[in-house]
Structures are given as structure tokens and as C-alpha cells.
Structure 1
Amino acid sequence: MPDECTETDRFVAVAAETEVPEKGLACFDVEGVGIVLCRFRDQVFALENQCSHALASFDEGRLRGNRIMCPLHGATFDIRDGSCTGAPASRPIRSFPVRVRNGLIEIGLPTGH
């Protein structure tokens, strides 16, 4: 779980740790960006909440280990880095650095995202 921000990132609070279940996901709007938070093995990961194949959201998606599955056509992505792991998608989705502070999950957003 990345914990340092780069010059272009600023961390923004998204949710309380308790809002993202173990082996589960939760979706949020953060400053106009759809974000899906995923928890697996006591780590939290953040991805853009939009499949690169048909632009569906992951609101009804499922986690299978360290992969998230799009509910529309079944494309899968690695929650650790957004890389595409299963068709019909062929492009990755954006991932964001995450840190947890005082029970709050924060993500790094690029300045002027």
C-alpha cells in the first residue's frame, strides 16, 4: 500500500476503514472522480470506478482474490495496480496511492485531476 505522495499528489479522505468490508469493495465519488475501494488481506486499494472496456462502473462488481470483476461483461483487473487481467478489456484502469490514517482511508489524487 503506497504511503508517500509525489509532488503532484495530494491525499484526500474518502471513507472510514469500516466502510470497506474485508474481501469486499465500496464505491465513492471523490471530487468528481468515481473511486472504488477494495480491501483484500488487510490492505486497501483504490481504482477509478470505470471499466476500460465498456465504461461500466464496478458498483455491482465482485472481488476474486486480488482481482475485481466488471459486472457488465466480466473483464477483470488487478486491484493492486489496475492492470487488465481478463478479457474483454485490454487496457488497464487508473489506480491511486492509498494510506490509512486515524481510521480514515485517504487516496492520492493528482493536482488538478
Structure 2
Amino acid sequence: MTYVKVCKLAEVPEDGALGVEVDDTPVAIARSGDEVFAVNDICSHAEVSLSEGEIYNGTIECWLHGSCFDLRTGKPTNPPATQPVATYKVKVEDGDVYVSLGSED
């Protein structure tokens, strides 16, 4: 599995998200408590950037219509979204965040 360095952990707001690109794929790097997650940055409902939304209770909320997605599974937790967003493997080493675009199962 190939991991790509995407940012410094310090660049990702606590209980917030940062939008990055990995091989032309938009990715939202999200911090929820002490955990770091990576999900596709495009809402499956309205095609807007999820990294501009709020992070709470292990979810990321789309700022446009309020759909929330589980940061672990990518599944929507409330409407209007009905389709999940992709999740990606993420690791933090020496203060750097790395992402692999291989989908998590």
C-alpha cells in the first residue's frame, strides 16, 4: 500500500478538516478528538467540499444541506445524502499526515 504525505498534523484544525488533493482526488483530512481520518472531500449529495463543514461525534457535516457522514465508514448518518463517500487509510508519523487512496473495507 502506497502512502502519500499530504500535510502536517498541525495544519489540520482540532475537530476540523483540511482539504487536500492526492493524485487529483480531493480528500478531506479530518480530526475528531485524537483521531485522524481521510474521506473523499466531495459530498455525495450536492458535490460541494466536505472539508468546509463541521466535525462532531465522529462525523463530518456538509455545510450546504446538512448531510453528515461517518468518518470511519463514509456512510451517511442523516439525509438528504443517501450514498456514502469513500474513506481512505491514513497514518500519522513524526507530525506528518499520510494517506493511501486504496479504499478501506
Match of 2:57 in 1: 65
Whether the aligned pair in 2 keeps the contact of 1:20 and 1:38 (CA below 8 Å) is: yes
Higher mean displacement: 36-45 or 52-61: 52-61
Whether the aligned pair in 1 keeps the contact of 2:17 and 2:52 (CA below 8 Å) is: no
Whether the aligned pair in 2 keeps the contact of 1:36 and 1:58 (CA below 8 Å) is: yes
- SS of 1:99's equivalent in the other structure is strand
Provide the alpha-carbon RMSD of the alignment: 1.1
> What's the TM-score, normalizing by structure 2?
0.91
- Partner deviation per Cα, 1:53-72 (whole Å, 9 max, x = no partner): 12111242111221111011
Match of 1:11 in 2: 3
Q: Which runs of 5+ in 1 are unaligned?
A: 1-8
Higher relative contact order (CA 8 A, sep 6+): 1
Structure 1 segment 76-91 matched on structure 2, within 5 A: 76-91=68-83
Identical residues among aligned pairs (%): 36
Which runs of at least 4 in structure 1 moved beyond 4 Å after TM superposition? none
What letter matches 2:45 in structure 1?
A: H
Structure 1 segment 1-113 matched on structure 2, within 5 A: 9-110=1-102
- SS of 2:3's equivalent in the other structure is strand
Aligned residues: 102
- SS of 1:35's equivalent in the other structure is strand
Q: Which runs of 5+ in 2 are unaligned?
A: none
